Amino acid sequence: MKNFINSVRNNGPLRTKDNFIITSSMVDMNGQLSIWSLMQLLNEVKGRRMNQLLLNLRFEDKVKNMDLKIYHKAGLEEELVVESSFTPNGKRTVDLKIYVSRRKKGSPVKRVCKAVYTLGIHAGK
């Protein structure tokens, strides 16, 4: 797995950081970020990062497990900071950890959620 992580590192960064602004289409009737929008955001980041793992056309990916913990709510027009990183987890699996935090002017940064995807990479047909 060490060689695999080194190959990923050479192909792109192990850690990324993206910023998003919560728009009116992403909130529920109470003005809070909806779970659906949060999951779409997580899937978008996961999709971009998965392309980095598929270093060879023969490789196939499989999400073996997903663990999501929600800590705080986020509201309209707050800035979301999404950080993601790969960590090895055994011989043929890797964890993609995604941390979402909210940043609001005049307030401290608060973690919104943490998602850990356990991904298996294996040679395809």
pLDDT in tens, 64-116: 899 999 999 998 889 999 999 988 887 777 889 999 999 877 878 899 999 99
pLDDT in tens, 14-70: 889 999 999 999 999 999 999 999 999 999 998 888 777 666 555 666 788 999 999
> Cα–Cα distance between 111 and 117 in angstroms, integer?
18
Homologous superfamily of the 2-123 domain (CATH) = Hotdog Thioesterase (3.10.129.10)
Threshold 0.75, pTM exceeds: yes
DSSP letters along 78-112, please? PEEEEEEEEEE-SSSEEEEEEEEEEE-TTS--EEE
**Residue 98, token pair as written in the block:** 């995604």
At 4, give phi and psi (nearest 5°): -65, -45
> Cα–Cα distance between 117 and 46 in angstroms, integer?
8
Domain boundaries, the chain: 2-123
